[in-house]
Amino acid sequence: MKKMNFLGFFTLFLPAMLFAQDKIEAPVWNVGDKWVFTAGSIEIVNADPKSYTLKFSDDICIQERQGLNVIIFDKSTLNRIYALEGNKRKKYTRGRAKILNFPIFAGKKWEYAYSAPALYGLAGSLREECDYNESFKVLSWEDIDVPAGKFKTVKMEYLRPTIRCTYAPALDVKSTTFYWYSPEAQYFVKAKYDFRSEEVKDWELISFKLKK
């Protein structure tokens, strides 16, 4: 009877134990960590007890850097919290603020809404202000092969409906991006968009360097 009770307890809590093992906490980054992609690079240029400062190269996909070169991330979640413009730190109010939102695990969902000027296209050239609703979902674990090597990753789905722009109040445009995050590389190793342009291109990790 005791053995049966133990087996019942073990069966009940085994899924929770496996779930906890698949939970990914925020990585610990260090100054000098760098990721090089088929479209640009990202490097950690500063760190303090609460945040990391990341420098995005000019040639990296505009969706990732959001038209900015230096972005400050919260250490515990890796949410984007500030943008550095010159020597001034300003609250981050653009897209993908929560593209990294640790801890992450299969099935986790979250959302974020913001208003910002369009980055490219006709609306971008006119600097039209648009409203966006972002939603994120961690789909599943997936083994993938990129130029930097083979990685065990979690695949994420990012949806961004554009719900209103000043030139088109009733606008309803949606975009989808898939990301693959690697605990080993401590960043995304691949991104695939449902649209492409001169400013927006799929990318993969070519190499990375992590300081100890």
**CA–CA separation, 50 vs 79, rounded Å?**
12
For position 194, what pLDDT does the model report?
Answer: 85
> Is the distance from CB of 189 to CB of 205 less than 8 angstroms?
yes
Q: CB-side exposure of 127: number of CA atoms within 13 Å?
A: 1
**In the chain, pLDDT over 90 holds for what percent of residues?**
63
Domains and CATH numbers, the chain: 2-209 (2.40.360)
**CA–CA separation, 131 vs 157, rounded Å?**
20
Encode pLDDT of 43-75 as tens digits. 999 999 999 999 999 999 888 999 899 999 999
For position 130, what pLDDT does the model report?
Answer: 81
Report the chain's C-alpha Rg in angstroms: 19
pTM (predicted TM-score): 0.83
Is the confidence at residue 86, as pLDDT, over 90?
no
Encode pLDDT of 162-200 as tens digits. 666 766 555 556 789 999 999 999 999 999 998 766 677
Higher pLDDT, 125 or 43: 43
> Is the distance from CB of 132 to CB of 161 less than 8 angstroms?
yes
Is the confidence at residue 110, as pLDDT, over 50?
yes
**CA–CA separation, 29 vs 93, rounded Å?**
23
**CA–CA separation, 66 vs 62, rounded Å?**
5
Parallel, antiparallel or unpaired: strands 109-117 and 129-146: antiparallel
